[in-house]
């Protein structure tokens, strides 16, 4: 019960269609197992409801809220719903992100529309969520923000908008960490590597018209640690640590969860 008595918002608690489990759903489930009351926020209310139902089936407490992170008013409303329902907000977990599905491409091929969409979803959505959560946490004099970037921020990565947005996430997390430390608010960012999730594997398989097994095998081959992709649970357990009081003296940190991929750099 490492999060007993705490409330958490998971932005992106649903998941893309495909095999396995996404990072947001796994994190929502794990937080609930550890005692948190979880508001499952997603633009797809049906997918968020599936996550909440899984939590309820295990005896946890969860609610759902429909919000698109590209619409600030909806993001603000989700924060208001959390505080209305439970009276406080202890953890904000920003998990929403797109790349291939948003039309991302190499710099010589990227369109204005695709660049703006990926940056809006990946970076602006997180900024707006923090904009509305931080005042609540400042008033409480406590809170933990856990953002999801990607090892793509620092490794060689082909598509320009995703990389730019995820490096922006790192810089933004550092900024809010130092600017809010005096209020007892911590902010950290996770850099997942090559993961076996519906968004990472199934979305690419659909976009490239390839068998899922072929996409998965290519990704497995890139992982130094055991030659196998990580899972959503690897990200969820990292998020649990950063959200918990065990990390009470940890802020402004970039935590790779990448099976050693980052060791190839430098």
DSSP state of 194: S
State the Cα angle at 165 between 47 and 149, rounded to 5°.
60
Query: Residues 6 or more apart from 246 whose CB is under 8 A from it?
Result: 2
Q: List beta partners, residue 37.
A: 7, 61
Secondary structure (3-state) at 55: helix
Choosing from 157, 162, 183, 241, the catalytic residue is: 162
Distance, CA of 165 to CA of 152 (rounded, Å): 10
237 is catalytic: no
Q: Which two tokens stand for residue 131?
A: 């904009």
Distance, CA of 196 to CA of 113 (rounded, Å): 28
Sheet holding 254-257, edge to edge: 61-66, 37-42, 7-11, 91-94, 143-148, 185-192, 254-257
What positions carry a catalytic annotation? 162
């Amino acid at each position: 019960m490492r999060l007993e008595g705490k409330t958490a918002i998971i932005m992106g608690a649903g998941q893309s269609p495909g095999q396995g489990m996404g990072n947001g759903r796994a994190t929502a489930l794990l937080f609930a197992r550890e005692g948190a009351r979880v508001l499952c926020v997603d633009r797809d209310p049906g997918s968020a409801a599936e996550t909440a139902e899984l939590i309820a089936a295990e005896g946890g407490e969860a609610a759902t809220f429909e919000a698109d992170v590209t619409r600030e008013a909806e993001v603000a409303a989700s924060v208001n719903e959390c505080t209305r329902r439970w009276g406080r907000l202890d953890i904000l977990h920003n998990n929403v992100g797109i790349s291939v599905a948003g039309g991302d491409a190499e710099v010589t091929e990227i369109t204005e529309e695709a660049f703006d969409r990926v940056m809006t979803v990946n970076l602006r959505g997180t900024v707006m969520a923090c904009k509305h959560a931080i005042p609540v946490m400042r008033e409480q004099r406590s809170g933990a923000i856990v953002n999801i970037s990607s090892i793509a921020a620092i490794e060689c990565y082909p598509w320009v908008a995703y990389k730019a947005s995820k490096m922006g996430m790192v810089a933004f997390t550092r900024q809010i960490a130092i600017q809010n430390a005096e209020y007892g608010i911590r902010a950290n960012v996770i850099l997942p590597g090559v993961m076996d999730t519906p968004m990472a594997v199934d979305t690419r398989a659909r976009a490239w018209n390839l068998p899922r097994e072929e996409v998965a095998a290519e990704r497995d081959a890139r992982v130094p640690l055991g030659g196998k992709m990580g899972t959503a649970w690897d990200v969820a357990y990292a998020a649990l640590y950063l959200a918990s009081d065990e990390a009470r003296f940890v802020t402004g940190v970039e935590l790779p969860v990448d099976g050693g991929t980052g060791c190839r750099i430098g």
